[in-house]
Each structure stands twice: as structure tokens, then as C-alpha cells.
Amino acid sequence: MAHQFQKYDCSLEQTAMKWANHSQCQMKRSDYDVGENLYVVGGNTSESLEHAAESAIASWADEISQVGINFQLNITPNILHAAQVLSDKAETIGCGVIKCDAGGIMVVCHYYPAMDMSLVEANIQKVHTVQNTDEGRTVLPENVVQTMGKYKN
């Protein structure tokens, strides 16, 4: 089973939304003292905000299956998004999803506490992807999806 966050945090959602609105689909990290992942669907897209959020989480988690982890469990820059999503240290998550002014959709997820990147190898749980059997894609834990649905932009 994939990592299940203990709770959805509305204050993390607020900082994620604030950063998404500020950066407007530019892949720039914020200065917040939290773990952070960014995802952008470019162009004039008809994708829903909910689907973009699910796609972002799936993309981040799937980095491990795409890139892999070596036998020493060294985390490379290519799987840092997955490390953040799958860390057993992150207890809460909050995500902001916006349609950018110039087109496209941006997803920003904040995690707390942030991972200690010097100890990232110890923070990764055994990874088992949760699959949506209809579409074969990674999905967010149901408690997170239900909470996110209450706080749409």
C-alpha cells in the first residue's frame, strides 16, 4: 500500500495555493519551510483540476518505477518527487491547483514536516503503487481526495 498521509492540512493547502497563484505555471520552488512538489500541464488544456492533481501525484510516485532505485537505496535527483510523496516522515499534505493566466494548470503540494534530504534514503517506505483498476493509474488516498474536493479554487 502507498504511503497514507495522516491528515490533509488546510494551512498547507493555503501556502500551496498562494505559491501556485504567485508562480503562475513557472517551475520555481517557494521559500516555505515545507516539502514541496510542483507539476505543470502546459498549454490550453481541458483537463479538470481534480484530474491534474491526480496526474501530478501519479507522476511523482511513478518516478521510482520509471527511474528505479539502486541496490544501495541511493536517491538520485530524478526521483526526489517520489521520495517526498512516499516519505514516511511527511505526516500532512496540502495541495493547491490552479488554471494559470497564460493557460495550463499548476499543481503545488506541500508536505510537513519536510524531509531531511541528507537522510532521504531512510525516509522511503517500501513502495507499492495503489492502482485504480479502471484506468490503471496511481490515485491519492481516499481521505485526501475527499478533503481536497471541499477546497477547490
- Mean pLDDT to the nearest integer, 62-68: 71
pLDDT bin (cut points 50, 70, 90) of residue 61 is confident
pLDDT of residue 4: 59
What CATH number does the domain located at 7-148 have?
3.40.33.10
Q: Could you identify the residue written with the cell 505555471?
A: 25
- Number of alpha carbons in the 13 Å side-chain half-sphere of residue 87: 28
Domain segments of the chain as ranges: 7-148
- pLDDT, one tens digit per residue, over 21-49 is 999 999 999 999 998 999 998 887 788 99
Q: Could you identify the residue written with the cell 513557472?
A: 26
Angle at 144 between CA 139 and CA 146, to 5 degrees: 100
pLDDT of residue 136: 46
129 has a pLDDT exceeding 60: no
pTM comes to: 0.69
pLDDT of residue 7: 87
